Structure 1
Amino acid sequence: MSMALLLLIAPATLTADEPKKLGGRVTDGEGRPARGASVSAFWGANGLDWDQVVALGNKEPEKLWQHEGKMEPWGDVRPAVTDADGRFSIPVPRRTKTLMICDRERRHGAVVYFDPKHPEAPVEVRLSPLVRVFGTNKLSGLEGPLKWTCTYLHLPYEENDPLNNTKIAICGSYHARFEFMIPPGAYNFSASSDSPSSETLESRSVTVTAEQTEVDLGALVLRPRIGGFQDRVDRSKARGAWGDYRQNFGKQPPPWHLTDARGVAEGSKLSDFKGKWVVLYFWGPNCAPCLGKQLPELMAFYEAHKAQRDRFEILAFCCDFSETLTDVAALERQLRHVRKAVWGGRELPFPVLLDNTFQTYERFGLEGVSNLLLIDPMGKLVEGNLQDLEKNLAHLAEGSK
């Protein structure tokens, strides 16, 4: 699967976290209400809104990645539009702390930060002229052009945010270029490509001022990903070793490889859980959506269905592609800041399994880092998600009355 398609796929197997509402009032440079401005936590710089992106999917990628510099709200969280008085209210995931706002003509905008302690407090936002920031991507260390690149616009990193979830916009291109229209402020830029697999090793930091109308960043240099996730996938496929878990629907799933585990016996196998529904969730120790969204959702599901735990189990299978985590204790030390800042001081309440090799991912043929699989009480892999499991648990509860 190409990076182009991966960018379009939201984790459909997990429910969204309970949203919070951010709101405020937007005015133009002269203090008048800015009616019709778009408000979103994430933006695309290719001239398409999210509905158009989803409709195209990967069927016509050349239509997805064009019109560099034309800003439109992105993501499955619907953008808000300011009313006649410039006011807006938008439901967003609970960890969202920033929004970007652009007027209807996409000529003026602002990035607004919300107080995490009082996110419900309305903000007053004044729009400033947007600045055109552009450049190119080039490859170092390998000959040949980049077929497709994606450039990421980040807000400054925060040391007290262990997930560093700072991306606010992307720009894809088949011409190895990027362009954004952004408000004055401090930003970081990075880029990646899957043809060939490469990425910037360090982001480029830039402060855009209100006095500027455009900023030429020159070239962002990408270097090949050697030994990284996509490189391993490509090499595995080339030698014919890459699996495909979807071929196992209705059958026993492939065997996993365990480096260490907590909450299950040494040498455990999936067959040990026959008689129960099993949620097998694959995640990574550096995956911000896994740590900030999906694992907390699984924790909430586990707690909400504690009376039925004799009928199901959740197995949190961590895959460490860096091969640096030797045991679960090392994993838990690495996640101590996440546990404090994101999980409210709680440990993961279900078994944690660790593979610090690439064997399990290769055997299952898993795309991306976050994957949820459902296994029925007969030990067979089935299509489904948490909602399907919840329905099955409800049927079992009804049948036992």
Structure 2
Amino acid sequence: MRLYLNWIMSGCLLFVSSIAVAEEKQESTEDAKPFLTIKVVDEAGKPVEGARTGMIAVVNGYDREQGAKWSFGHFEQKSDAEGIIRFHNPDKYRGMVYVRHAGRSLVAVKRTDLLGDLPSPLILTMSPACHVTWKIESSQLDQRGKEIGAVRGFSSAENMICQWCNESGSILHFYLPPGIFTLVAAGESICPVEKNIEIKAGQTELDAGTTDTAALKYKLLTGKPAPEIVDVQEWKNGPVKLSQLRGKVVVLEFWGWWCGPCVIRGIPELFQLREEYSKDDLAIVGIHVSYGEDDEVNSIGEMDEKLAQVREKVWKGKQIDFPVAFTRNRKLAFAPGGAKVAHSRMSVEYGINEFPTLIVIDRQGNVFGKLMLWKKADREKLKQLIEAK
């Protein structure tokens, strides 16, 4: 499967909105020599003033009357009167330039990290934007009376993401120039899905149709017996079986040492749960999932080594004292015939495509659902479940 589809699997889209709206001032770089200079021009070759670009380009919602709500993240820039945009910080540049001029409905997309010696300035011709719409459905969820929930997606060109779409319901919106693109969609309830499109010159609207995608398994397991923990390479503070934990509320935390939100937020939340509730009432089990060849570790020992600085600086010396199942790294599909983008058998069994994810199991051994402990309402749900003996 293409590399960019895996970006969703690691939960990158969970933080698109927060990155896009973060109030961080760009350090002054006016005196620094730019590592990349581009000049944006229209199809007549005239400079385009006021075109926007940034670290990311995100549609953060859509209204029929008002149109799309845009963000360009940190380091947003605008082209000057000569159409010039200068990039000074290579650490904040991903190799893809996406430029948009809202008033003139012009866009340009160009991957530059593969071009070798770049001219200065690099000329980018902006074309009339094509508004692409793509509707995502799940008949599996519809048949069970469940909502599809938040759908997120991105478009990619030349095997690199160029524009994200978030918070626009089940219809994704993209604004792209002529060319060949791949659209990818995923969400909290659905399996990732992709679609290839071609935009022709002069085309300003493209309906990419409706795609029916499978539901993630945890949405179908609510109220049903929780699948047993399987395909474990090694245990830390274990082993343990879910069948042994009947009579207790169980939280399964799907996480990885490579996942920043997991180790910065997820694991500390579990430490707090352990302090709040007795082991007689609440059992905590970690499901560690390796991710990608560069991030893979082969044992609990290697995982602990990777977490040494985190334990010291983030966890304040606390150790993981609950069982952790170190799962085997496998490339599997979430649904028959689907893309092999899951990284463990447990990810498939529970339908986990974002990290961290916390699944709660009730005292009878049935799946209660997915909770986000940073939400007050979800913490209250867990509290009520634990207290309802």
For the residue of structure 1 that corresponds to 2:38, the secondary structure is strand
Aligned to 2:183: 189
Distance 1:79 1:137, change over 3 A: same
Per-residue CA distance 1:210-233 (angstroms, 9 max, x = gap): 131211111022211226xx8899
Matched to 1:88, the amino acid is I
Superimposed CA distance per residue, residues 304-353 of structure 1 (whole angstroms, 9 cap, x where no aligned partner)? xxxxxxx9xxxxxx99777538xxxxxxxxxxxxxxxxxxxxxxxxxxxx
CA spacing shift, 1:35–1:222, aligned 2, 3 Å: same
Report the CA distance between 1:155 and its aligned residue: 1.7
- Equivalent residue, structure 1, for 2:191: 199
Partner of 1:99: 97
Maintained 8 Å contact 1:26/1:87: yes
1:24 CA drift (Å): 0.9
Per the alignment, residue 126 of structure 1 pairs with: 125
Count the aligned residue pairs: 260
8 Å contact kept, 2:152–2:185: yes
Shift of 1:126: 1.5
1:32 Cα deviation (Å)?
1.7
User: Does residue 82 of the first structure (1) align with residue 76 of the second (2)?
Assistant: no
Distance 1:367 1:259 in 2: 11
Which amino acid counterpart does residue 58 of structure 2 have in structure 1?
Answer: G
Contact 1:128 1:183 in 2 (8 A): yes
Q: Which residue of 2 aligns with 1:216?
A: 207
> Post-superposition shift, 1:97?
1.6
1:166 aligned counterpart, secondary structure: strand
CA distance in 2, matches of 1:273, 1:112: 40
Match of 1:138 in 2: 137
In the alignment, the residues of structure 2 paired with residue 264 and residue 322 of structure 1 have an alpha-carbon distance, to the nearest angstrom, of 12
Q: Could you list the runs of 5+ residues in structure 1 that have no partner in the other structure?
A: 11-18, 47-63, 159-164, 281-310, 312-317, 326-354, 372-401
Equivalent residue of 1:33, what SS?
Answer: coil
Name the Cα RMSD after superposition: 5.1
Match of 2:294 in 1: none
- 1:334 paired residue number: none
- For the structure 1 residues 71 and 28, does the alpha-carbon distance in structure 2 shift closer, same or farther, using more than 3 Å as the test? farther
Residue 155 of structure 2 corresponds to: 154
Q: Which residue of 2 aligns with 1:369?
A: 355
Q: Tell me if structure 1 keeps the 8 A contact 2:56–2:163.
A: yes
- Amino-acid identity (%): 16
- Partner of 2:82, secondary structure, is coil
CA distance in 2, matches of 1:217, 1:248: 45
Query: Contact 2:165–2:173 (CA<8 Å) still a contact in 1?
Result: no
* 1:248 aligned counterpart, secondary structure: helix
CA distance in 2, matches of 1:152, 1:184: 19
| Pair 1:367–1:151, CA change in 2 (3 A) | closer
Letter in 1 for 2:269: R
Per-residue deviation at 1:273? Answer: 7.6
Aligned twin of 2:163:
168
Cα deviation, residue 83, structure 1: 0.8
Q: Cα distance, 1:120 vs. partner?
A: 8.2
TM-score (norm 2): 0.51
Q: For structure 2, list consecutive stretches of 5 or more residues without a partner in the other structure.
A: 1-10, 20-28, 227-247, 253-265, 276-283, 291-296, 318-323, 332-342, 358-389
